[in-house]
Structure 1
């Protein structure tokens, strides 16, 4: 799917993605090396928890917005 090639910057909180990510969370993901939606989708929850500033609620939000992007 081409959505997996899109940059993480494509997931901001908006009308299209009501469960989207804040700019700060997108920057944290990019800083940890997750540049694309596909890279985030492929990461395990445990890998995401290892990122400073990412906790249980944020992982749930990330999973929700990635799922939204895939189904849109």
Structure 2
């Protein structure tokens, strides 16, 4: 969970965002940045799935909830 919390803090701090502006393709404002966060969160989801399959249900639930909270950050 500590690694997930550290990841959440990096997302919150805008570490993966290089700026904000209009996107002509989607006709909305959005943030610009690198997509390396996607690989990181994918790995956390895989690790959390392993916890679930190993029967560590409470930790898996907590981790899944936190990961989905991170996704809601945008």
Larger proportion of strand: 2
Q: Which has the higher contact order (CA 8 A, sep 6+)?
A: 1
- TM surpasses 0.5: no
TM-score when scaled to structure 1? 0.39
TM-score when scaled to structure 2? 0.39
Determine which structure has more spread, i.e. the larger CA radius of gyration.
Answer: 2
